[in-house]
Amino acid sequence: MRFATRVTIQAPAEAVWALLTDAAAYPAWNPTVASVEGTIGPGGKVTVRTAERPGQAFPVRVTAFEAPRRMVWTGGMPLGLFKGERTFTVTPEGNGVVFAMEEVYTGLMAPLITRSIPDLQPDFDRFGQALKAAAEQGA
């Protein structure tokens, strides 16, 4: 199972990156997020609560961090039984950037667990549009 979004943003990469790495500010610009706690940086541990399911915590670790271009959040079950990996990329293009976000689920339990995961594509698209609006407003 895979979800992805891509959007062109007329703002500097650093401005987009600043929004993506400010955990406390996520709810202010992103309607899909209730809270993000922790440190979004190399090796950081982050707990995400979605607006749709604020009572459910999604703990992830920042497993790749290449400011201001790429980061990866990884979460799941021990022993590789189930893994979700969300990759954020910010690629300079013209006077702005192309932002892309992709989440892929893998592991022995993935076929079973992904049956209970709702269609996240609308949330991914809203995430991209909200990031675009926030970054362009601040640019």
3-state SS, one letter per residue, for 105-134: EECCCHHHHHHHCCCCHHHHHHHHHHHHHH
Q: Is 7 a member of any domain?
A: yes
Q: Is 37 a member of any domain?
A: no
State the chain's mean pLDDT as an integer.
95
C-beta of residue 20 within 8 angstroms of C-beta of residue 65: no
In this predicted model, what pLDDT tens digit does every residue of 121-130 receive, in sequence order?
899 999 999 9
How many structural domains is the chain composed of? 1
Give the CATH number for residue 120.
Answer: 3.30.530.20
Q: Is 35 a member of any domain?
A: no
Parent domain of 67: 2-21+60-138
Q: Is 125 a member of any domain?
A: yes
Q: Is 41 a member of any domain?
A: no
pLDDT of amino acid 115: 87
How much is the average pLDDT of 44-62? Answer: 94
d(C-alpha 106, C-alpha 45), whole Å: 20
Band of pLDDT at residue 52, cut at 50, 70 and 90: confident
Least confident among 12-16, 84-88, 107-111: 107-111
Q: Is 51 a member of any domain?
A: no
pLDDT of amino acid 139: 54
